[in-house]
Amino acid sequence: MTIVRRLLVALGLMVAVLAINFTLIHAAPGDPASVIAGEMGGGDQAVIDSIKKAYGLDKPLPEQFIAYLSKSVRGDLGMSYTYNKPVSSLIAERIGPTILLVMTALLTAIIVGTLLGVLASLKPKSLRSAVVTVFSLAGLAMPVFWTGILLVILFGKVWPVMPIAGMYDVRNYGATGWAAALDALHHLVLPALTLTLVYLAQYSRLARASMLEVLGSDYVRTARAKGLHEAVVVFKHALRNALMPLVTVAGLQFGNLISGAVLVETVFSWPGLGTLALDAILGRDYPTLLGVLTFSSLFVIAANLLTDVSYRWIDPRLRTTR
């Protein structure tokens, strides 16, 4: 599939995602205008009619969809009911902390997980391999919010050395530069560790399985027969091919980072998109909720495109157009 065709498919997916969101708003029980009126404290038919007019809800559905589409494309996701601000600027405020949290966790997990997987695959019957397997089984069965809570109890009560909520300490209010960055990093430790543990379980399991498969292939035997150093065989020859499934999963998780962070952000009151989505739900703030959903879906589509490009970079065989 050429890049151009891939882009066209991505474009089609974006329109489809917007169509689903649009359908959701209209399929939900209750007329949006009366819901808005209700959120504003109730109102009579005249108020509802004026809201319908203001939001274009009195027009036929296809026309409404086109309007919704063109607004979304221009980055206008509507106004938040609770914050009384454009949803797009709310998202812009909250995306930074989420990316910081998820990228820290994802990168740590990829590096450590790959190393653990490689170590386990070199001696598949050994104790360390069994430890990695048990660890990843347990890690995948733990509800992520529970892991977070256990860490809060451990580092907030038993051995209180870490901040357990928020991104900045209120005592440091107004701090800038290094002091603020250090404070944020200190607050980042526990939520990032929680998320890392989940991802780590997946990566070490995947890396182990993938390496075991590659290490059994003929070209690895050839490389060993040539008398190459074992480290070169493992890290240069085998690992490069074993990385493919890891890239696939990393791409999926990077795209899903907002969804994946909701639970961890909630446990640690981390001011990211996940807590924004949850607050929107608790406050019945539909534009914000759907805005975050739309934004996250578009983020996934973009991440998938990036994954495709990185396949070509890792695997030269894919560079020639098929």
Binding site for other proteins (CB under 8 A): 9, 12-13, 16-17, 20, 24-25, 27-29, 137-138, 140-146, 149-150, 152-153, 156-157, 255-256, 258-260, 262-263, 266-267, 277-278, 281-282, 284, 286, 289-290, 292-293, 296-297, 300-301, 304
Question: Using an 8 Å Cβ cutoff, are 48 and 39 in contact?
Answer: no
* Closest separation in Å from C-beta 143 to other proteins: 5
* Closest separation in Å from C-beta 93 to other proteins: 18
What does the alpha-carbon distance between residue 240 and residue 210 come to, in Å, rounded to a whole number? 11
Please give the helix or strand (H or E) that residue 247 lies within, else none: helix 239-255
What does the alpha-carbon distance between residue 292 and residue 258 come to, in Å, rounded to a whole number? 9
Residue type at position 289:
L
Residue with smaller CB distance to other proteins, 155 or 180: 155
Residue with smaller CB distance to other proteins, 172 or 256: 256
Maximum pairwise Cα distance, the chain? 85
What does the alpha-carbon distance between residue 311 and residue 124 come to, in Å, rounded to a whole number? 28
Residue with smaller CB distance to other proteins, 152 or 223: 152
Residue with smaller CB distance to other proteins, 8 or 115: 8
* Closest separation in Å from C-beta 13 to other proteins: 6
DSSP state of 281: H
> What is the rounded radius of gyration, in angstroms, for the C-alpha atoms of the chain?
24
Strand partners, 79: 86
* Closest separation in Å from C-beta 156 to other proteins: 6
DSSP state of 199: H
What does the alpha-carbon distance between residue 94 and residue 83 come to, in Å, rounded to a whole number? 13
Residue with smaller CB distance to other proteins, 11 or 179: 11
* Closest separation in Å from C-beta 103 to other proteins: 17
Residue with smaller CB distance to other proteins, 184 or 278: 278
* Closest separation in Å from C-beta 300 to other proteins: 5
